[in-house]
Amino acid sequence: NSSHPIVVWDEPFFQGKRHEFSTDCYSTPERGFSTVLWGQGHCGFQGQQFVLERGEYPCWEAWSGSNAYHVDRMSSFRPITCAEHGRSQLLLFEQENFQGRRGELSDDCPSLPALGWGGSAVGSFLVCSGAWVCSQYPGYRGFQYLLESDSHAGEYKHVREWGSHAQTGQVQSIRRVQQ
């Protein structure tokens, strides 16, 4: 989406080689950057995901959110085009394939357990509208999983569909992606 460009540098604190992108970047090394400080950890949109909303991220600590998940280089990134912060709706299910207990969100939830969701795992999601970031721990901490209404037809039937790095269904906080 050309209205939401991303400017990247190959060194921390906005130093070194600079380039502005307005479309997907499948592989930063193919675009002349051996290290870039935004996006996903591996080429081809693979690896740990980080959602960067409008703002400045001068070093990896600013966008990774945790020293436990040190990823100091990004190799691919893309815009999120379906973010509808004001009209987002998400259904979550206790088990795979939309089975078991069901919950519905239309607002950010910093703690699913505090909301009454039993257990720390979610089996599947149906994204009715918008884009959502699911986090491993309360307070939007830990691994992040991006779920979009325009990807997989909004259907995430199993943890394997949440991203290449997803190993567990542990989700304890969920927030809407800002436009």
Tell me the two tokens of residue 112: 């699913």
Q: What is residue 44's predicted lDDT score, i.e. its pLDDT?
A: 45
CATH number of this structure's domain 6-77, picked from the four choices 1.10.730.10, 2.60.20.10, 2.40.160.20, 3.10.50.30:
2.60.20.10
Per-residue pLDDT of the chain (179 residues; tens, 9 = 90+): 445 677 777 777 777 777 777 777 766 667 666 554 433 344 445 556 666 666 666 666 665 555 455 555 666 666 666 666 578 899 999 999 999 999 999 999 999 999 988 877 899 999 999 889 898 899 988 888 888 888 888 999 998 888 756 778 899 999 988 76
CATH number of this structure's domain 89-176, picked from the four choices 1.10.10.10, 3.40.50.150, 2.70.98.40, 2.60.20.10:
2.60.20.10
Backbone angles phi and psi of 122, in degrees to 5: -125, 135
User: Is the fold of 6-77 the same as that of 89-176?
Assistant: yes
Distance, CA of 50 to CA of 98 (rounded, Å):
26
Distance, CA of 84 to CA of 77 (rounded, Å):
20
Q: Check: pTM over 0.75? Answer yes or no.
A: no
Closest CA to 23 of 80, 81, 78: 78
Q: What is residue 109's predicted lDDT score, i.e. its pLDDT?
A: 95
Q: Enumerate the domain spans of the chain.
A: 6-77, 89-176
Q: Determine the 3-state secondary structure of 58 from DSSP.
A: coil
Q: Are 124 and 95 in contact (CB under 8 A)?
A: yes
